[in-house]
Amino acid sequence: MALLDILVLIISAVFLRQWWRRWSKTGGGANNLPPGPPGWPIVGNLFQVILDRRHFIYIVRDLRKKYGPIFTMQMGQRTLIIVTGDELIHEALVQRGPLFASRPPDGPVRLVFSAGKCAINSAEYGPLWRSLRRNFVTEMINPTRVRQCGWIRKWALDNHMESLRRQAAEDGVVEVMAGCRKTVCSILICLCFGSKITEEWIVRIETVLKEVMMTTTPKLPDFLPVMTPLFGRQMTAARELRKKQIECLAPLIRNRRSFVDSGGNPSSSCLEMASPIGAAYVDSLLDLRPPGRGKFNEEELVTLTSEIINAGTDTTATAVEWALLHLVLNQDIQRKLYEEIVAIVGKEGPITEEQVEKMVYLGAIVKETFRRHPPSHFMLSHAAVKDTELAGYTIPADASVEFYTAWLTQDPDTWKDPDEFKPERFLEDGDGFDVDLTGNRGIKMMPFGAGRRICPAWTLGTLHISLLLARMVHAFKWVPLSDAPPDPTETFAFTVVMKKPLKAVILPR
């Protein structure tokens, strides 16, 4: 009997070992996935990442050194293909763009807010996405529309400058991020809905949408959907937040619809409609019928307008804060920028959008900010439209393809002194002079993505950043607090932000 027990134990041990090796293996094998770190049965690398207690990007950096420019991570029920090499990124997104232009399925929390993936960012590659993107490009960012809505930016920036003066007079210092977020949010609300609303309403919308953005970052149920029932409290909180989001934005949609249906009668709405019919983004959505579906309902319109406000507010305000950090720390760069502004508009201004486009050094500062502080270290998740290959490995259609792009801007083979902030590198004879921000000619940096899924509003966002910096530096000299110099430490929210928000003293010019 003892011998039989020993034999059973040996057989069980061998079986367990083979089972463990089979289900803990990541990459390779018959599926021909890219190589990757071994994981645990069922959960793969998920709990290893959680127990590591470092941000995911640091784990990816380490794995890149070991496995090269493409590798696999098994995160619960999701297979992640991590792509980090510039040539592979260019091949996937530009040379073979249509193959890698889709999105993976949304997790349960994100589905609460995406209205069935009814958004430009989250829609799968197909008729809905094409219809939404085409409409956005035509109605929101074509040059004629941008010029037509220039008054909105002037109105918001005038308010922004007055707010800076008031805050400096009352507190002696100004906090950059909060004011920039409110200003950009007010611009985008007016672009979307054509109406001017109270500052309190703007702040409420900004606060709720920021909360939505943080709530939809990856959570455990996204990787293990079978565990969603165990996260009932989180799902309930997400639905309550969605209700608040709708309550914030639905009145703007209803008032604009009434204004449009009345033929532009001002008395049809209880809000001040500042834009004529056709000039607000939501006007184009009211009667839009993508192939195979009817008009959008109110909840879908909330999702479609929210993504514009959310995407534009956070990235723009973050870029302005990082740029001003370097202007505060390096007064020589700030002096050169001020001299360029004065040479073009004079000491009294005003600064127009056409004049901003002529400011070469300002453009170099903005590009260097994108390089040194990209909005995110990863692009939004991609997916292949069908099983395909990349670098000789199989890329399944149900895998999430993650492009790690921060390494591109830190590569010493591409950039001289990559950790230093040098706007001059984007001037003639600099190592960034010929960089293509869209990535079409090659990938050196990609702050807006690349290929079919590149951010469609990247030119508009760059304009907003440039206008804010030009106006703020033209009016004030920005200097550090004597007892609290700026801290450039990063932290990770939806975008990569300053851990301690930038505060500075402003001196009228």
Tokens at 206, concatenated: 């900004």
Would residue 316 count as lying in a domain?
yes
State how many domains the chain has.
1
Residue 23, pLDDT above cutoff 50: no
Would residue 46 count as lying in a domain?
no
Would residue 31 count as lying in a domain?
no
Residue 128, pLDDT above cutoff 70: yes
Task: With cut-offs at 50, 70 and 90, classify the pLDDT of residue 495.
Answer: confident
Would residue 44 count as lying in a domain?
no
Question: CATH number, domain at 478?
Answer: 1.10.630.10
Would residue 333 count as lying in a domain?
yes
Provide the 10 A C-beta neighbour count for residue 197: 18
Between 220 and 201, where is the model more confident? Answer: 201
Would residue 13 count as lying in a domain?
no
- Residue pair 38/24 in contact (Cβ under 8 Å)? The answer is yes
Give me the mean pLDDT over the 310-325 stretch: 94
Q: Which residues contact 99 (CB under 8 A, 6 or more apart)?
A: 92, 384, 385, 386, 388
Residue 38, pLDDT above cutoff 70: yes
- Residue pair 453/101 in contact (Cβ under 8 Å)? The answer is yes
Question: 393-395 and 272-273: which strand pairing?
Answer: unpaired
The fraction of the chain above a pLDDT of 90, given in percent, is 71
Between 307 and 228, where is the model more confident? Answer: 307
Tokens at 254, concatenated: 């209803």
pTM for this model (two decimals): 0.91
Task: Name the maximum alpha-carbon separation found in the chain.
Answer: 99
Give me the mean pLDDT over the 288-307 stretch: 94
Would residue 230 count as lying in a domain?
yes
What is the per-residue DSSP string for 165-192? Answer: HHHHHHHSSEEHHHHHHHHHHHHHHHHH
Q: What is the pLDDT of residues 41-85, one digit of tens each?
A: 888 898 898 888 888 888 999 999 999 999 999 999 899 999 999
Here the contacts of 234-240 (C-beta below 8 Å, separation 24 or greater) are 234/109, 235/108, 235/109, 235/112, 238/109, 238/112, 238/113, 239/112
Domain enclosing residue 229, as ranges: 52-508
**Residue 455 is labelled as binding a ligand:** yes
What average pLDDT is seen over the chain?
90
